[in-house]
Amino acid sequence: MIGKLTARFSGLNILSDRRGNFGLMGAILLPITLGVGGFAMDLTNVVQMKSELQGAADSAALAAASSMAAKGTSESDAIAMARIFLTSQVANYLSNGMKTEQQMGEDRTNLGNAANIGVTTSGSATSGQTFNVTVKTYYDVPLNPLTQFIGYRTMRVAVTSTSQSATESKNAISMYLVLDRSGSMAWKTDTVDGSKSSCVNWTEDNWGKKNVDATSPCYVSKINSLKIAVNSLVSTLKTADPDTKYVRTGAVSYNANMYTPSALAWGETAMNNYVDALVADGGTDSSAAFDKAHKSLIDTAENAAHKTKNGQVPSKFIVLMTDGENSSTSADTKTRTSCTNAKAAGIKIYTVAFMAPARGKTLLDFCSSGDGYYIAAEDAAELVAAFKYIGEKASQSMTRLTN
């Protein structure tokens, strides 16, 4: 019996037995197989993430560079804009509707910290400026557990984008203000003037508005609101043309009559001094004053003045402002005709109805050059904002862009 068993074992070579090799090889290859499968899935995510990150970086760089050229955005504000744009775009993609607000906030923070944004500016405001914005950033894409079998937890995706925007030069402009200085412009607004302890205000009685002494509160008058508003427009134009090479301005005021205007001149000083000296009284007739502005702008001498100094034909603007309505409908008719002729001559007309009645608003709406050119201001703050807006829009028209 023992001899038979010995014979059997002696015929069995354990070292040459291959029946367990498949299991052994499977145990060795399984992690590698899983890792390769996981890597294939992760590769798709990485490629898609790189595409999203590159697109966001491109858009952020372009938006920042364009804003610097079109709106005069500072370098620090442009960097902040690019960072916010980048993080918002990519974080929205990463959320995919599956993350909490806290997780999305963490993504934005991480993306913001990873971004390296550089801005360079060359040239000058008058001769033309070039803005270069470079956005460098990265994101560590988390890998799935299958890939982690082969020892990798994240894969870094890095992108770079550069955008350039330039102001070739300044476009020349000529602007004429046509301003109501009638008696109602002496009336108060609802804006309290905290700098005064005693004043003259208007109050209601059976006869309408009446001038009376008051001690408190004091209010900003309409005419003073106008002076503040024009000053805000002046400041904006000065910023756009610091060397006084491209902007010419003039102003004319009216009540029942047209007053001697401040003729078109380089810069804004003469116009601003003219407006600061206005006194409110009398009735209302805008027709002669508007016609004066129209004829001054289309005069060949105005184009010649620009041609000599900056070599350009200027863009032309009229700003028509009233707080009331013309004393006669015939004045409305004449003003409408002048407005139509001015627009036909290529002049853009901004109109500002300042706490004005319906007929005055209707006239100004007609005279305006369309959407964005008619503004109804119902208090002092809105009047200031309206003139600032006009200054900003005119300044933007001075800038020609190349991207």
What is the predicted pLDDT for the residue at 17?
Answer: 52
Strand bridging mode 348-354 / 315-322: parallel
What's the Rg (C-alpha) of the chain? 36
Compute the distance between CA of residue 202 and CA of residue 357 in angstroms, rounded to an integer.
18
Regarding whether 317 and 277 lie in a shared domain, the answer is: yes
Last residue of a domain, one of 168, 202, 217: 168
Whether 35 is in a domain gets the answer yes
Count Cβ atoms within 10 A of the Cβ of residue 327 and give its class: 0-12 exposed, 13-18 middle, 19 or more buried.
middle
What is the maximum span of the chain, computed from C-alpha positions, in angstroms? 141
What is the predicted pLDDT for the residue at 182?
Answer: 95
Residue 246 is part of a domain; what is its CATH number?
Answer: 3.40.50.410
What is the predicted pLDDT for the residue at 124?
Answer: 66
Q: pLDDT-derived band of residue 37, with 50, 70 and 90 as boundaries?
A: low
Compute the distance between CA of residue 378 and CA of residue 233 in angstroms, rounded to an integer.
18
Whether 2 is in a domain gets the answer no
What is the predicted pLDDT for the residue at 32?
Answer: 53
Last residue of a domain, one of 108, 135, 168: 168
Whether 146 is in a domain gets the answer yes
Whether 116 is in a domain gets the answer yes
Regarding whether 298 and 150 lie in a shared domain, the answer is: no
For the chain, the domain total comes to 2
Please name the residues in contact with 198: beta carbons below 8 A apart, sequence gap of 6 or more. 213, 214, 215, 218
Is the pLDDT reported for residue 173 higher than 80?
Answer: yes
Regarding whether 134 and 30 lie in a shared domain, the answer is: yes
More confident residue, 357 or 400: 357
Write down the pTM of the prediction. 0.60
Q: How many CA atoms lie within 13 A of 398 on its CB side?
A: 31
State the chain's mean pLDDT as an integer: 83
Regarding whether 346 and 218 lie in a shared domain, the answer is: yes
Regarding whether 59 and 155 lie in a shared domain, the answer is: yes
The enclosing H or E element of 336 equals helix 329-344
Regarding whether 226 and 90 lie in a shared domain, the answer is: no
Whether 125 is in a domain gets the answer yes
More confident residue, 318 or 189: 318
Q: pLDDT-derived band of residue 255, with 50, 70 and 90 as boundaries?
A: very high
Regarding whether 185 and 67 lie in a shared domain, the answer is: no
Which one-letter amino acid corresponds to residue 124?
Answer: S
Regarding whether 191 and 100 lie in a shared domain, the answer is: no
With H, G, I as helix, E, B as strand and everything else as coil, classify residue 231.
helix
Which one-letter amino acid corresponds to residue 280?
Answer: A
Q: Which of 108, 227, 118 is nearest to 177 (CA)?
A: 227
Regarding whether 367 and 256 lie in a shared domain, the answer is: yes
Question: Could you write out the three-class secondary structure of 182-230?
Answer: CHHHHCEEEEECCCCCCEEEEEEECCEEEEEEECCCCEEEHHHHHHHHH
Which one-letter amino acid corresponds to residue 382?
Answer: E
Please tell me what DSSP assigns to residue 353.
E
Cα-based distances in Å from 218 to 196, 198, 203, 235 = 6, 7, 12, 27
E-strand stretches of 261-397: 262-266, 315-322, 348-354, 374-377
Q: pLDDT-derived band of residue 391, with 50, 70 and 90 as boundaries?
A: very high
Whether 308 is in a domain gets the answer yes
Please name the residues in contact with 204: beta carbons below 8 A apart, sequence gap of 6 or more. 210
Residue ranges making up the domain that contains 86: 19-168
Whether 218 is in a domain gets the answer yes
Regarding whether 372 and 247 lie in a shared domain, the answer is: yes
Whether 13 is in a domain gets the answer no
Compute the distance between CA of residue 104 and CA of residue 93 in angstroms, rounded to an integer.
10
Regarding whether 196 and 284 lie in a shared domain, the answer is: yes
Regarding whether 187 and 163 lie in a shared domain, the answer is: no
Last residue of a domain, one of 138, 168, 198: 168
What is the predicted pLDDT for the residue at 321?
Answer: 98
